[in-house]
Amino acid sequence: MKVSEDHPRYRSLVVRERMSELVREGVVAPTGLIAHGRGEAFDYLLGERTSPSALEAERAAAAYLLEAKRPVITVNGNAAGLCAEGLLSLARAVPAKVEVNLFHRTPERVEKVVSFLESVGGKDILGRQQESVLEGIASDRALCAAEGIASADVVLIPLEDGDRAGALVKAGKIVLAIDLNPLSRTSVVSNVTAVDELTRAVPNIERFVRELKDAPEERRRVIESYDNQHTLREARETMRSVLQGMGKT
């Protein structure tokens, strides 16, 4: 199907093509395409734009990242494929460490994703060596780097699965999620959930990092007044009103 560049679906089609190319290159896992499709469906229900409550969550995420002593941003194949430059730029702005952490972990895929990040300017990317273990999850998915996730106090997890998000919370970390599904286990267990598309959320968080960098009192006020249950309710409410609006046309 040929879609013109000004068609609203054009961007999604370009992204899909790019994601399937990255599956061929081994950066994105084949099942990553399924997760991507689920994200697209939820984004429809959000009207494919950032809601005011997602913006609040993104501001709170920025505040937590700046207040952290050892902030880490985790990157999987999908996150790298969709938003490598944005995530690296955010990591530099905080500054935060970046750790590659894969659901389907093989040394070859870790190498592919780390090299992919390095090819777009990433430096000191963690993940090739993961000698620590997160309690409460099975096998390879529990592995993490001692100087990264294992010793982090705040972890930003774009597109993470619920088991690992829960294990990070149990390990006492502040967990900041970006997830288009407000019903997912990741969204529900995290301390902050930006119910937003990754490529919209990450630049917003970076903008708030710059805004709050020299405003320590304001960022502590943002953290104190933030309520993730409220954010999740508002995200569901946005979806409900988008669906109702569709019914009226």
Binding of residue 47 to ligand ATP (CB under 6 A): no
Number of Cβ within 10 Å of residue 70's Cβ equals 16
Of these, 19, 27, 28, 42, which contacts ligand ATP (CB under 6 A)? 42
Residue placing its CB nearer to ligand ATP in the complex, 62 or 159: 159
Residue placing its CB nearer to ligand ATP in the complex, 19 or 93: 19
Smallest distance, ligand ATP to C-beta of residue 177, A: 8
Residue placing its CB nearer to ligand ATP in the complex, 141 or 220: 141
Give the range of 4-12, 87-95, 113-121, 156-164 binding ligand ATP by CB under 6 A.
156-164
Side-chain-facing half-sphere of 38: CA atoms under 13 Å: 14
Smallest distance, ligand ATP to C-beta of residue 69, A: 27
Smallest distance, ligand ATP to C-beta of residue 195, A: 8
Tokens standing for residue 32: 């990553």
How far is the CA of 73 from the CAs of 13, 47, 78, 211, 249, in angstroms? 27, 27, 14, 19, 41
Instruction: State the Cα–Cα distance between residues 131 and 36, nearest whole angstrom.
Output: 29
Side-chain-facing half-sphere of 71: CA atoms under 13 Å: 20
Over the window 158 to 197, marking each residue x when it contacts ligand ATP by CB under 6 A and - when it does not, the resulting string is -x-xx---------------xxxx--xxx----------x
- Of 195-224, binders to ligand ATP (CB under 6 A) are 197-198
Task: Please report which helix (H) or strand (E) contains residue 45, including its range.
Answer: helix 30-45
Number of Cβ within 10 Å of residue 10's Cβ equals 12
* Chain position whose Cβ is nearest to ligand ATP: 39
- The vertex-63 CA angle with 74 and 114, nearest 5°, equals 15
Site residues (CB under 6 A) for ligand ATP? 35-36, 38-39, 42, 82, 159, 161-162, 178-181, 184-186, 197-198
